[in-house]
């Protein structure tokens, strides 16, 4: 399992709203929301295989798009 990452956001000029937006974006990019959602309920092994297959295809397509540019 991946190690937890330490996310840190600095607040400048007491701008808490901006810091919260930045933190939320970092959490989304880190995949924490996705991991928490996955842990919320049991996932059948067949569903797990299908999900991993879809994720793999999505990564392959993204890499192909990046190479074609």
Residue 34, pLDDT score: 85
Residue 1, pLDDT score: 46
Query: 39: domain range?
Result: 16-68
Q: Please state at what angle helix 32-40 crosses helix 16-30, rounded to 10 degrees.
A: 60
Write out pLDDT tens, residues 6-39.
888 899 999 999 999 999 999 998 888 888 888 8
Domains held by the chain: number: 1
Q: What is the pTM for the complete model shown? A: 0.55
In a domain? residue 36: yes
In a domain? residue 1: no
In a domain? residue 10: no
* Higher pLDDT among residues 31 and 49, named by residue: 49
d(CA 26, CA 7): 7
Residue 3, pLDDT score: 58
């Amino acid at each position: 399992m991946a190690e937890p990452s330490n996310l840190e956001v600095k607040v400048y000029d007491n701008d808490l709203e901006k810091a919260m937006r930045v933190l939320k974006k970092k959490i989304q990019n880190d995949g924490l929301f996705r991991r928490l959602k996955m842990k919320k309920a049991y996932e059948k092994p067949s569903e797990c295989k299908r999900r991993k297959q879809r994720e793999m295809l999505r990564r392959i397509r993204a890499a192909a798009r990046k190479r074609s540019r």
